[in-house]
Amino acid sequence: MTSGKMTLRDLEIDVVATVSEVLSDGSELGKGFKTRLEAMGLIQGRTVRVLRKAAAGGPYEVRVGSTTEIAIRRSEAELVRVSPA
């Protein structure tokens, strides 16, 4: 997979990456997700690292920057494009 197409969902545990883009599908729901993700700090240029992936399709625990930790659904993780840091 090329780095331009890699999403937060593809990122392995404990690998640091940089947010390159937060996507929206163009719908009102998609715009809401994008706004919510950006409010949690997932903005272009910010570093991210997956700390844990819950079993059975559960959420991911993600460190944004150096101090903020969030839980994010797998479907939301697909909206965050990343590149290797």
pLDDT of residue 66: 92
What's the CATH code of the domain at 47? 2.30.30.90
Please give the model's pTM, rounded to 2 decimal places: 0.84
- Which tens digits make up the pLDDT trace of 12-57? 999 999 999 998 877 776 778 888 888 889 999 999 999 999 988 8
How many domains would you assign to the chain?
A: 1
Q: Which contacts (CB < 8 Å, 24+ apart) does range 22-28 have?
A: 22/79, 22/80, 22/81, 23/79, 23/80, 23/81, 24/79
% of the chain residues with pLDDT over 90: 55
The domain of 10 spans 3-84
List, for residues 51-84, the tens digit of each pLDDT value: 999 988 899 999 999 999 999 989 889 889 999 8
